[in-house]
Amino acid sequence: MTTHEEFVNALVAQLPGLRRYAVALAGNAALADDLVQDSIERALRQSAQLRDLAHLPGWLRRILHNLYIDEIRRRRGRGAEQDVAELADHPDLSVAASDGLAIEDFLRAVNALSFEHRQILLLVGLENLNYREIAEELDIPIGTVMSRLARARERLRNMMQNSVSPSEDES
């Protein structure tokens, strides 16, 4: 049985990765920090439900997803509040000056994707999960992982080739 101290140490070790994932998912550094803080609080409250520390990264992302979906629902109707320029200028995004515009276009395209498309691109491309691990984390069949990923990449490509529409991709 995991002790509370072991849980806390493992949790702290996951925070840099969770925070990075949150920024990429939310497209907004301030919102991401709120989500991570709320995730820490919820994880500490519900630590007894985690049976195996090996599952901690996925468990934390699940908590963060749920909190983010709640937040999206709260904000729906008020429009997207993602500040791409703010994110592109973020000092921690180590972007060469010559790449600045390309990066901003890329961030704009990623942020214009639907939540589910952004999520699957990040789980594959940033978190390096395989299709089976993603299917388990999202409770969807592997076939759906593959078709959703194909659609997400296709949409991102289309947006990079054409100029990005400001309206959110909802499908």
Partner 1 sequence: MSGELGLNESELHAFIDGALDAARAHAFEVKLAADPALAARVAAFRADKEMLKRVYAPLIARPIPEKWLALAHGSKPPARAALSWRMVGSIAAAILLLVAGVAAYRSVRPPQSGEIVQAALDARTHAMPSKIIAIEMGADAQRYDAALSKAVASPVKVPDLGRLGYRLAAIRLYSGTQNGGAAELLYRDSKERLFTLYVRRSNGAARFDQFERNGLRVCVWQDEELSTVMAGNVSTAAMQRLASLAYTGLTL
With CB under 8 A as the contact rule, the residue among 26, 31, 112, 121 that binds partner 1 is 121
Is the CB of 76 or the CB of 78 nearer to partner 1? 76
User: What's the number of CA atoms in the CB half-sphere (13 Å) around residue 22?
Assistant: 29
* Using rule CB under 8 A, residue 75 touches partner 1: no
**Which residue carries 């520390």 as its tokens?**
53
Contact status, residue 65 vs residue 32, Cβ threshold 8 Å: no
Stretch of 68-76, 77-85, 101-109, 162-170 contacting partner 1, by CB under 8 A: 101-109
Check binding of 41 to partner 1 (CB under 8 A): yes
The stretch among 70-78, 129-137, 162-170 that binds partner 1 (CB under 8 A) is 129-137
Q: Which of 30, 69, 72, 126 binds partner 1 (CB under 8 A)?
A: 126
SS (H, E, C) 22-69: HHHHHCCHHHHHHHHHHHHHHHHHCHHHCCCHHHHHHHHHHHHHHHHH
Give the DSSP letter string of 127-154: S---HHHHHHHHT--HHHHHHHHHHHHH
Q: Is 46 in the site for partner 1 (CB under 8 A)?
A: yes
Coil, strand or helix at 99: helix
How far is Cα of residue 4 from the mean position of the Cα atoms in its chain? 27
Footprint of partner 1 (CB under 8 A):
1, 4, 8, 11-12, 15-17, 19-20, 23-24, 33, 36-37, 40-41, 44-52, 55, 59, 62, 92-95, 103, 106-107, 110, 121-122, 124-126, 130-132, 135-136, 139-144, 146-147, 149-151, 153-154, 156-157, 160
